[in-house]
Chain A
C-alpha cells in the first residue's frame, strides 16, 4: 500500500464531490429558505470537504500518476465511505438528523441507492416537515451513487486519473461493462450521458403524468438510480395515479438494465441490442415472477392486484424499493419471499441496480448443469457460454466466489441483527434489502429501519456499502493482508 498515491486520488475525488453541495444550496435559496440554513446545511459541508480534498491532494499531488491495482481497491472502498460521511454533514448540520450514526446511515443508504430511510416522519409527510433543499440532497445522493461516483470522477477527471482503469474495475466489479470506445473515459462519458438523458426524459414524463416539478425531479433521481428515496412517507402510493406508476415502472426498468444495451438502442444498433442474452433472460424472469405475484395477490383477494403486483415486482427486481401500498405486511408470505428473491437476484450488469445480477445467476446455473454432465461423462469438455461466447474459467470461479461471499455476508448480517433482538424474519428482510441495495421494507407491523438499535444500523450501513461495491472491493479494504508490505 502506498499512502501518497491513495490520498492523491482520494483528494481529487473528494474535491470533485464537494461541488455537488452547490445543487441543494441553490435550491434552498430558490425555495426561500433562510440563508443561515443554506450556509449551515450546505456551504459549511462544502468548505469542509473541499478543504479535506485540497489537503489530501496538495500533500501528494505528484503521486497521482502511479496508482496501482491494489491501491485502487482502497481508494474506491475508502472513497465511498468518505463520501457517504461527508454527504451526511448536511443532515447533521441542518438538524434534520442530529444523530451522526443515523445521518451516516441515511447518507450511505442514499449513495448506495438502497433507499432505506431513518428519517423521522412522526410529524407528518416528509415534504411538509422538511425543507425542499434537504429532500433534493437526499434524492441527489441517490442519483450520484447510481451510476457510480468513481465513474463520474473518471468522466470529469480523465486527465488526472491515471489509475482510472483500476479504479473503474474496483467500482464496477469484474469490469462488467463492455467497452464502447477505446478510452475508458469515453465509455464512462457515454454511460453518464445515457443516464442523464433518461433522467431528463423521466422528469418530463412524470410532469406529464401530473407530478409537481420538484417532485418530478427528486423522484426521477431516485427512479433511474434504482435508489428509492421519495418525498412522501407513502412512497409512490402518495400520488395514487396509475400514470405516475406506469412512468415509474418503465424508468425503473430502464435504470436497472444494461446501459450499453440502451446506448445501442439509442444509436440504432437494434440487432446487437436485441441479442443480449442477459437482457432477454431478465425480461422473461421478471415477467414470470410478476405473473406469480399478481396471481397470488388475486387469490388472496387484495385490492387492485395487477397494478400493485406489477409495481411491487418491478420495484424489487430493479432494487429500487418504491412501493404503492402503505403496508406490505398484509400481503401473503409467498409474495414476501418472492420479492426478497427478486431483489437478491437483481437486474442486469452495467446498470444502476444492486443484487447479484441475472448474468451471474445464468453463469452459475449453466456451470451447475455442466457439473452434472461432467458427472455422467467424465471426459466431456464443457464451457459456460453466454450469447454464443465462452466465459473463461477464471471468470466463472470469480462469480462462484462472489456468490459465496455474498451469501456469507448476508448470513453474518442476519446473525448480528438477531443478536440485537430483531426477529429472524425482520433481520433477514432488512439484511437482504440492504445487501441488494433495494431498501424495500417488508417488516412486521410497527418495525422499520428507524426502530433498530444503533448497533443494528451500523451493521446495515456496512452491509449496504459491501453490497454496492459487490463485496470484493469492500473485503479488500477490510482485509489486513492488503495493508501488509
Chain B
C-alpha cells in the first residue's frame, strides 16, 4: 500500500516506522524541519510543509496513495488533510484530540461529514485501555486472540510471590491455560529455558476463556482479588481508585469507573478540578497535591486499592506513584509520555507505566494491518515482545511438518497452539495442521524474519 502520514511527531514517526517495517510505501508530510532531520534514517518520501496544504499533499503523491493517516498535533489540520485525501479517493484515518467530534464515549468511528473513515480519539483509546487494566490486580495487559474466543494475558511476579524460584514448568495451571513465555528484563524466554522464576518476571499466558483468569492467577499465588472477568464489570475486589490529574484521560478514566467504584480524582489546578467536577457525577474531585502527605491521610487515600497518575508531567506522575506506594497503595499506574521511559519507570517501582502515544500507534497499526489481514500482532506493551497469531491454511509450506522440526529465527519461538478452540503446548510429534492457530512470541529484531517465514509462502496471518 502507498500510505501518506501527515505529521511526524512521536506518533507519526512511530506509525511511519512501523508501516515501513511491514513493507508499505510511505510518504511523510511534516512542517517542522528539526523533526524532518530525525526522519533521515527512514526509507520514506519526506515532504516539508503543512499537511493542510494541497501542494504539499500533491508532492507527497496523494494522487496515487491508498491511505492517509493524519496524526499532526492539530485537529483542524488532520481534518483538512483527510478531506483532501478523501477527494482523491484515499481511505483516511485521523487522530482527533477533541472528544466532541465523536459520539459520546466512542473510542473510534466514522466521521461522515469530513470523509474520515476512522477517527481515533487518543484520550478514549487510552482511557478505555487503562480502565481495563486498572481493575485487574495482577493483569498487566490483555488481548483477545482466535477471534475473541481465547485471550492472551500477561502477569507480573511481584515481590514475595510464592512462585519465585520455582521452575515455570512446575507450576500447576488449570487446564486450558498455557504459559507462552517468560520475559525477563527486555528479553523473552521459552518457559522451559527460563530457569527459576524471579521477581519482576512477566509471564505471558494463553487462556481458553476469560473464566480462567482467576484460576491462573491463583496458580501463581497472586493476591486474591476475586476477579471474575476481564473488563469493566466486576464484583468485589477493588473498591477505591485514586486518579491524579485532571487531564482528559484522567477525567475519562474516572467517568468509566465512577459508577462501580469509589473514585477520587485529585488535581492541583483549580480549573482542571472545575472541569472534572462538571464532567463527573459520582466521583469525588479534590483540589490538592497528591504528593502531600497530609492530604493523603486526611482524604483517606492510603486505603485505595490502586492509584493512577495521569498528569501531563511524567516526572510528577512517577513521584506520585512512588509516594503512594510508600504510603500503602498496593498498585500504581503512571502515564509516561515518552515510550522509551516505560521500562525505566517500572524498574524504579511503578507497577505499570503506559504511554498513550504508543497505544495510539498500536491502535492505528492494528487497524491498518488488520484490515489487510497480512500480519497480526497483539502488542503487549510491558515486555516489548509481540505475540503473533498465525492461522495455518492448507497452502502453508509447513503443513504436515512436525512442530519441533520448524526452525524458528533467533529471537522468536512458538509459544502455544490453539487447535479446535483449545490452547495446548505443541508436543514432540504434533504436526502442523490446517486450522491451527500458532502463537509465536517475537522480539522486535526477529519480526521481519518471522513474517518472512510464515507469509512469504502463502501463509495467512490473521489479525486478532
Contact = CB atoms under 8 A, between A and B. Distances in A.
Contact of A69 (B25, B41, B42): B41
B44 interface: yes
Contacts of A182: 2, 25-27, 44-45, 61
A228 B232 CA distance: 76
B51 to A, nearest CB: 16
Interface in B36-71: 41-46, 61
Given A65-B448, A392-B33, A183 B41 contact: no
A184 to B, nearest CB: 5
B41 A179 contact: no
A62 B44 CA distance: 24
A338 interface: no
Contacts of B410: 62
Interface string A185-200: 0100000000000000
Nearest to B28: A182
B25 A183 contact: yes
Interface string B164-189: 00000000000000000000000000
Interface in A153-188: 164-166, 179, 181-184, 186
B33 A183 contact: no
Q: Which of A166, A183, A392 has the most CB of B within 10 A?
A: A183
Interface of A is mostly: helix
Interface residues of A, number: 13
Contacts of A165: 41-43
Contacts of A164: 43
Contacts of A181: 25, 45, 61
B302 to A, nearest CB: 49
A461 B350 CA distance: 62
A301 to B, nearest CB: 54
A176 to B, nearest CB: 14
Interface string B20-38: 0000011100000100000
Nearest to A66: B445
B301 to A, nearest CB: 48
A179 B33 contact: no
A62 B33 CA distance: 35
Contacts of A186: 25
Contacts of A166: 41
Interface in B140-194: none
Nearest to B448: A65
Nearest to A392: B33
Contacts of A183: 25, 43-44
Contacts of A392: 33
B410 to A, nearest CB: 8
Nearest to A62: B410
B45 A179 contact: yes
Nearest to A168: B43
B164 to A, nearest CB: 36
Nearest to B452: A159
A184 B25 CA distance: 10
A179 B29 CA distance: 14
Contacts of A179: 45-46
A184 B43 contact: yes
A164 B20 CA distance: 14
A86 B448 CA distance: 34
A254 to B, nearest CB: 26
Nearest to A185: B43
A65 B61 CA distance: 28
Contacts of B26: 182
Nearest to B409: A62
A183 B46 CA distance: 11
A184 B44 CA distance: 7
Nearest to A186: B25
B26 to A, nearest CB: 6
A197 B46 CA distance: 28
A456 to B, nearest CB: 40
B55 to A, nearest CB: 12
B217 to A, nearest CB: 39
A65 B21 CA distance: 12
A392 B48 CA distance: 12
Interface string B128-140: 0000000000000
Q: Which of A62, A69, A179, A186 has the most CB of B within 10 A?
A: A179
B349 to A, nearest CB: 34
A392 B36 CA distance: 12
Contacts of B43: 164-165, 183-184
Nearest to B60: A182
A10 B46 CA distance: 28
Nearest to B27: A182
Nearest to B45: A182
Nearest to B47: A179
A181 B61 CA distance: 8
A182 B59 CA distance: 11
A155 to B, nearest CB: 14
A154 to B, nearest CB: 10
Contacts of B42: 165
B15 to A, nearest CB: 14
Nearest to B410: A62
B265 to A, nearest CB: 45
Interface of A: 62, 65, 69, 164-166, 179, 181-184, 186, 392
Interface of B: 2, 25-27, 33, 41-46, 61, 410, 448
Given A179-B45, A182-B44, A186-B25, 20 more contacts: A62-B410, A65-B448, A69-B41, A165-B41, A165-B42, A165-B43, A166-B41, A179-B46, A181-B25, A181-B61, A182-B25, A182-B26, A182-B27, A182-B45, A182-B61, A183-B25, A183-B43, A183-B44, A184-B43, A392-B33
**What are the 10 tightest A-B residue pairs by CB atom distance, in nearest-first order?**
A182-B45, A182-B25, A179-B45, A182-B27, A165-B43, A184-B43, A183-B25, A182-B26, A182-B44, A183-B43
18 contacts: A65-B448, A69-B41, A165-B41, A166-B41, A179-B45, A181-B25, A181-B45, A181-B61, A182-B2, A182-B25, A182-B27, A182-B45, A182-B61, A183-B25, A183-B43, A183-B44, A184-B43, A186-B25
